[in-house]
Amino acid sequence: MRKIYVVGSINRDLVVYVDRLPRTGETVFGNRFQQFPGGKGANQAVAASRLGGDVHLVGNVGSDAFGKDMLDFLAGENIDTSEIAILDTAPTGIALITVDSASENSIVVVSGANMVWHTRDLARMKIRRSDIVICQFEIPLEIIESVFEQAKKIGATTILNPAPIKPAGEKILKNVDYIVVNEVELEAFSSATVNPADPTSVYAAMGKLHQRGPLAIVATLGPRGALVSGPTGRNEAKGHNVNAVDTTGAGDCFIGGFAAALAKTHSVTDAINFANKAAAISVTRRGAASSFPLVAELSRH
């Protein structure tokens, strides 16, 4: 089976629950505090592993308690952590999240070790021609550029999730096999207006994004499913009618599922259907990584 290399962020999420968010200069009392694994890189690696992938995570943590917690968690998810660097020069990335009684939130991210990279660090990756390489935008763009350039020289398959949105040059996009975007990201990278309820507008935006380099584009449209446009044509994955309680991490679940399926099949249609089903299950549960299903669960739904 093809290996999946996720090159990306590793965070510890620190969440405080309050009745209401504080105003500037105000102190409020919290009701509850929890810690969760986080970071888009770690989330996508967990999803891919739970959904049957042979996953390696390449990233950085600090030599602190949060870093140890994340390494222990990832190893427990059957993810190869041997290519994660432990840095003495920067702390593990954290997200400070405050959530009120109406589920509104405010978030402060301190990237820490996620932004401390050198191109020589990429020697950690032992990718082969048959492997799949995934990146997101929570690490330096120049590292993503180098990762994808190296991957394409070898002949590996590349998947980009351009989130959170940042301007990306053609040096990255020209080496992308699959770019996975939601409607907001598709608008940003195509400079076209997207109406998720109108596939024509989605495909028009995809056409403009194709001109920037990606071979195939997968647009995730929440309950409406997903559309794909690529060298083999256009395909659609229908949405699933579920009782959604928390959409946190659904996009990461989709990408992990998409990669896990691509590692076993050459059918993009089958891969997006598999990923869409996994993401639909995840939104019926609370949390990010904690909501991601196991591969055996998909056969029961």
Q: How far apart are CA 157 and CA 133, in angstroms?
A: 6
pLDDT at 301: 62
pLDDT at 201: 94
Alpha helices by DSSP H, 77-221: 141-154, 170-173, 183-190, 199-210
Identify whether 103 is part of a domain: no
Q: Which of 8, 10, 21, 164 is nearest to 94 (CA)?
A: 10
Identify whether 25 is part of a domain: no
Q: In what order do the strands lie in the sheet with 30-38?
A: 30-38, 11-18, 93-99, 105-110
Annotated catalytic residue, options 13, 131, 177, 252 = 252
Q: What is the DSSP string of 50-82?
A: HTT-EEEEEEEEESSHHHHHHHHHHHHTT-B-T
Total domains in the fold of the chain: 1
Identify whether 29 is part of a domain: no
Identify whether 28 is part of a domain: no
252 a catalytic residue: yes
What range defines the domain where residue 60 resides? Answer: 3-10+39-92+112-289
Identify whether 106 is part of a domain: no
Q: Are 146 and 133 in contact (CB under 8 A)?
A: no
Digit-coded pLDDT (tens) for 249-292:
889 999 999 999 999 998 899 999 999 999 888 888 877 788 89
Percentage with pLDDT > 90 across the chain: 70
φ, ψ at 297 (rounded to 5°): -70, -25
Q: How far apart are CA 21 and CA 47, in angstroms?
A: 31
Q: How far apart are CA 71 and CA 10, in angstroms?
A: 9
The angle formed by the CA atoms of residues 286, 75 and 145, to the nearest 5 degrees, is 85
Identify whether 99 is part of a domain: no
Digit-coded pLDDT (tens) for 176-224:
999 999 999 999 999 999 998 899 999 999 999 999 999 999 999 888 8
Digit-coded pLDDT (tens) for 63-81:
999 999 999 999 999 999 9
Q: Which of 90, 14, 97 is nearest to 59 (CA)?
A: 90
Identify whether 294 is part of a domain: no
φ, ψ at 232 (rounded to 5°): -90, 5
Identify whether 149 is part of a domain: yes
pLDDT at 233: 85
CATH number at 272 reads 3.40.1190.20
